[in-house]
Chains A and B, each alone.
Chain A
Amino acid sequence: MDLHKLTIHELRELLANKEISVLELTEDVFKRIDDVEDKVKSFLTLTKEQALARAKDIDEKLAKGEKLGALAGIPVGIKDNICTEGVRTTCASKMLANFTPPYNATVMKKLESADAIMVGKTNMDEFAMGSSTENSAFFPTRNPWNLDRVPGGSSGGSAASVASDEVIFALGSDTGGSIRQPAAFCGVVGLKPTYGTVSRYGLIAFASSLDQIGPFTKDVTDCALVMNVITGHDDFDSTSVPMDHPDYTKFLINDIKGMRIGIPKEYFGEGIDPGVEAKIKEAIAKLEELGAIAEECSLPHTEYAMPAYYIIAPAEASSNLARYDGVRYGLRVEAEDVLTMFNRSRAQGFGTEVKRRIMLGTYALSSGYYDAYYLKALKVRNLVKQDFDRAFEKFDCLLTPIAPSVAFEFRSKADPLSMYKQDVCTIPINLAGLPALSLPYGLVDGMPVGLQLIGKPFDEGTLLRVAYTLEQNTDETRLKPVLGGSGR
Chain B
Amino acid sequence: MSKYEAVIGLEVHVELKTKTKIFCGCPTEFGAEPNTNVCPICLGLPGSTGVLNKKVVEYAIKAGLALNCEIAGYNKFDRKNYYYPDLPKGFQVSQYDYPIAFNGYLDIEVNGETKRIGIERLHIEEDPGKLVHLGETITVAQGSLIDYNRSGMPLVEIVTKPVIHSGEEARVYLEKLKQTLEYTGVSDVKMEQGSLRCDANVSVRPVGSEKLGTKTEIKNLNSFRAVQRAIEYEIARQIDVLEDGEKVIPETRTWDENKGITLSMRNKENPDYRCFTEADLPPLDVSREWVEELRNSLPELPDARKKRLIEVDGLPEYDATVITSTKALADFYDRTVEKYKDAKTVSNWIMGEFSRLLNANNLEVSETKVTPDGLAKLLGLIENGTISGKIAKQVFEEMFSTGDDPAEIVKKKGLVQISDQGQLEGIIAEVIANNPKSVEDYKNGKEKAIGFLVGQVMKATRGKANPGMVNKLLKEKLDQI
Contact = CB atoms under 8 A, between A and B. Distances in A.
A99 interface: yes
B280 interface: yes
B83 A325 contact: yes
A236 B43 CA distance: 14
Interface string A65-102: 00000000000000001110000010100001001011
Interface string B134-161: 0000000000001000000000000000
A469 interface: no
Contact of B52 (A238, A325, A362): A238
A319 B46 contact: no
Given A323-B89, A328-B43, A200 B276 contact: no
B73 interface: no
B274 A366 contact: yes
A178 B6 CA distance: 58
B49 interface: yes
Contacts, number: 104
A322 B90 contact: yes
A372 interface: no
Contacts of A96: 46
Contacts of A105: 47
Contact of B83 (A322, A328, A370): A322
Interface in B262-298: 272, 274, 276, 279-282
Interface string A97-139: 0010111010000000000000000000000000000000000
A37 to B, nearest CB: 26
A285 interface: no
Interface string A296-337: 000000000000000000011011011111011100000000
A239 B45 contact: no
- What is the interface residue range for chain B against chain A? 20 to 34
A342 interface: yes
A273 interface: no
A82 B281 CA distance: 20
B98 to A, nearest CB: 15
Contact of B48 (A202, A338, A374): A202
Contacts of B79: 319
Contacts of B83: 322, 325, 339, 342
Nearest to B146: A327
B451 interface: no
- What is the interface residue range for chain A against chain B? 35 or more
Contacts of A208: 49, 279-280
Interface in B67-90: 79, 81, 83, 85, 88-90
B260 interface: no
B47 A365 contact: no
Given A208-B280, A322-B81, A342-B83, A201 B91 contact: no
B85 to A, nearest CB: 5
Nearest to A378: B277
B314 interface: no
B110 interface: no
Given A204-B46, A205-B47, A323-B89, A238 B282 contact: yes
Contacts of A318: 81, 274
Interface string A194-219: 00000011111101110000000000
A83 B89 CA distance: 17
Contacts of A24: none
B90 A325 contact: yes
Most buried by A among B89, B146, B276: B276
A319 B49 contact: no
Nearest to A205: B47
Contact of B90 (A89, A236, A323): A323
B156 to A, nearest CB: 20
B75 to A, nearest CB: 13
A236 B51 contact: yes
Given A366-B272, A366-B274, A319 B90 contact: yes
Nearest to B273: A367
B91 A238 contact: no
Interface string B30-65: 000000000011011111111110000000000000
A282 interface: no
Contacts of B50: 236, 238
Contacts of B88: 323, 327-328
Given A329-B45, A365-B276, A239 B282 contact: yes
Given A235-B51, A327-B85, A327-B146, A103 B276 contact: no
Contacts of B51: 235-238
B152 to A, nearest CB: 14
Interface string B372-398: 000000000000000000000000000
Given A209-B279, A239-B279, A366-B274, A83 B47 contact: yes
Contact of B46 (A236, A238, A323): A323
Given A96-B46, A103-B40, A202-B47, A315 B276 contact: yes
Nearest to B89: A323
Given A315-B276, A319-B79, A328-B88, A238 B40 contact: no
Interface string B234-246: 0000000000000
B85 A338 contact: yes
Contact of B40 (A82, A102, A374): A102
A237 B85 contact: no
Contacts of B274: 318-319, 362, 365-367, 370
A316 B85 contact: no
A362 B81 CA distance: 10
Given A89-B46, A101-B46, A322 B91 contact: yes
Nearest to A96: B46
Nearest to A105: B47
B233 to A, nearest CB: 30
Interface string B74-117: 00000101010100111100000000000000000000000000
Contacts of A101: 40, 45-47
A293 B334 CA distance: 78
Contacts of A83: 45-47
A231 B279 CA distance: 20
A81 B89 CA distance: 17
A315 B47 CA distance: 17
Nearest to A201: B49
Most buried by A among B47, B85, B276: B47
A102 B49 contact: no
Contacts of B280: 205, 208, 237-239
A102 B45 contact: yes
Given A209-B279, A323-B88, A239 B49 contact: yes
B45 to A, nearest CB: 7
A366 B81 CA distance: 11
A55 to B, nearest CB: 27
B49 A200 contact: yes
A202 B52 CA distance: 17
Given A325-B83, A365-B274, A319 B91 contact: yes
7 contacts: A102-B45, A202-B48, A203-B47, A205-B46, A239-B282, A318-B274, A370-B274
Given A202-B48, A236-B49, A318-B81, 12 more contacts: A82-B47, A96-B46, A101-B45, A201-B47, A236-B41, A238-B51, A238-B280, A239-B279, A318-B274, A325-B85, A342-B83, A362-B274
Interface of A: 81-83, 89, 91, 96, 99, 101-103, 105, 200-205, 207-209, 235-239, 315-316, 318-319, 321-325, 327-329, 338-339, 342, 362, 365-367, 370, 374
3 closest A-B pairs (Cβ-Cβ)?
A322-B90, A209-B279, A365-B274
